[in-house]
Amino acid sequence: MKIIRHIENPLITPKNIKPSRPDMEVIGAFNCGVTQYNNETVLLIRVAEKYKSPSVSIVGVPMYDVTQKKVVIKLFDKRNGSIDFNDPRFVKTKDMLYLTSMSHLRLAKSKDGINFIIDEKPWLVPSDYYESYGIEDPRITQIGDEYYINYSAISQSGVVTCLAVTKDFVTYEKKGIIFLADNKDVVIFPDKIKGVYYAINRPVSAYFQRPEMWMSTSKDLESFGNHQLLCSLREDRFDDTRIGASCVPILTEKGWIEIYHGASKDNQYKLGILLLDKDDPSKILYRSEKPWIESEMDYEKNGFMPNVIFPCGLIVKQDIVSLYYGNCDENICLLTFSLSELLKSIKV
């Protein structure tokens, strides 16, 4: 089947994003939730920023301070031998792990799905302890006239998944944590199935370290239960180390199409396809044997985290699917394909 990467890729880069404040610089504009609202394509972009340190010997860690109710910069001296600065993404003290960048979510809108008007200011921002190290990787599920936005929230307590809801992409209501640490890569199905909501999620055990896809259900999108392992790692394949749901599932006549990401020990993130039973999406009808999409283009192979293809959302218009994906944890790209061609390629 034909997969068409957009000629203008990457469509959005950090250069297109205004920093949230003068002492911060944008280092990533990637992993965006996607939906349609008012005949426009809406992206909710993960914007990662880091502190512009005035000195090479000082590292500043941005974090939301609950008492002051704002983002503050915690400074660390690189000459302090008791602190570990080896991985530029982290600062590690004896007892604490800090992140050197912090993400918020930024709105962008487009009439054609290609040329976006990006908000100058953050939209969904950290506002409590659980979000104090930032919020990341949103997915948007439309249910009736409401848009449910789930996202990863990071704090000393770990990576949890939170939920917010909006009707107009102007105001939103935060609903709190729906999956406890560590759990991310959550996608909520766009409708109840036989009376319950389904959500794929990705818990990970500190001891056993097998990040795999689970299915949970909910009557009200507040409490989740009925947890089951949905999809495991596969030895010696592209998805042998880490997998997670990427996009909100698409309902087709054959069942639910779930586009997921898988990584091997080399940290290359590739995409796979699951077909899930229409009436019981905890049943897998098909799983792609080989990567469905992997890094091919220069812009996919070179960047902040090379060879990472990571979509968080898509739009279906008639038969054409527009998939927006983060590449290299840095930019946003677009590819399109025919849904019917994809379905034809799936033999069940």
Nearer to a copy of itself, 240 or 294 (CB): 240
State how far the Cα of 252 lies from the Cα of 330, in Å rounded to an integer. 32
Nearer to a copy of itself, 4 or 229 (CB): 229
The total of other beta-carbon atoms located within 10 Å of residue 174's CB is 15
Looking at beta carbons only, is 183 or 322 nearer to a copy of itself?
Answer: 183
Query: Is residue 101 involved in binding a copy of itself (CB under 8 A)?
Result: no
Applying CB under 8 A, does 179 fall inside the site for a copy of itself? yes
Cα angle at 167 between 166 and 173, to 5 degrees? 30
Report in angstroms how near the CB of residue 208 gets to a copy of itself at its nearest.
Answer: 5
Q: Are the C-beta atoms of 333 and 299 separated by less than 8 Å?
A: yes
Paired tokens of 75 = 């400074």
Q: Shortest Cβ distance from residue 232 to a copy of itself (Å)?
A: 9
Q: With CB under 8 A as the contact rule, which of the stretches 2-10, 117-125, 202-210, 266-274 interacts with a copy of itself? A: 202-210
Listed residue (131, 82, 81, 135) closest to 104, CA to CA: 135
CB 111 within 8 A of CB 51: no
Is 131 a binding residue for a copy of itself by CB under 8 A? The answer is: no
Within 305-344, the residues that bind a copy of itself by CB under 8 A are none
d(CA 286, CA 273): 8
For residue 329, give the DSSP letter.
Answer: T
Question: In the beta sheet, which residues pair with residue 16?
Answer: none
Which residue of 7, 209, 347, 348 would you call a contact of a copy of itself, by CB under 8 A? Answer: 209
Q: Given candidates 228, 318, 347, 348, which one binds a copy of itself under the rule CB under 8 A?
A: 228
Using CA atoms of 187, 254, 271, 30 in order, give the dihedral in degrees to the nearest 10.
-40
Choice between 205 and 345, CB closer to a copy of itself: 205
In the list 129, 172, 299, 304, the residue contacting a copy of itself (rule: CB under 8 A) is 129
| Token representation of residue 299 | 């812009």
Assess 206 for contact with a copy of itself (CB under 8 A).
yes
Q: Smallest distance, Å, CB 296 to a copy of itself?
A: 29
The DSSP symbol for 89 reads T
Binders of a copy of itself among residues 57 to 96 (CB under 8 A) are: 95
**Cis before 182? omega within 30:** yes
Residue in 9, 53, 157, 252 binding a copy of itself, rule: CB under 8 A = 157
Q: Which of 169, 214, 238, 325 binds a copy of itself (CB under 8 A)?
A: 214
Q: How many CB atoms lie within 10 A of CB 330?
A: 21
Nearer to a copy of itself, 186 or 333 (CB): 186
Nearest residue to 33 (alpha-carbon basis) of 321, 315, 319, 239: 315
3-class secondary-structure state, position 342:
helix
Among 20, 217, 264, 322, binds a copy of itself (CB under 8 A): 217
| Sites of contact with a copy of itself (CB under 8 A) | 95, 97, 129-130, 155-160, 176-183, 201, 203-210, 212, 214, 216-219, 222-229, 235
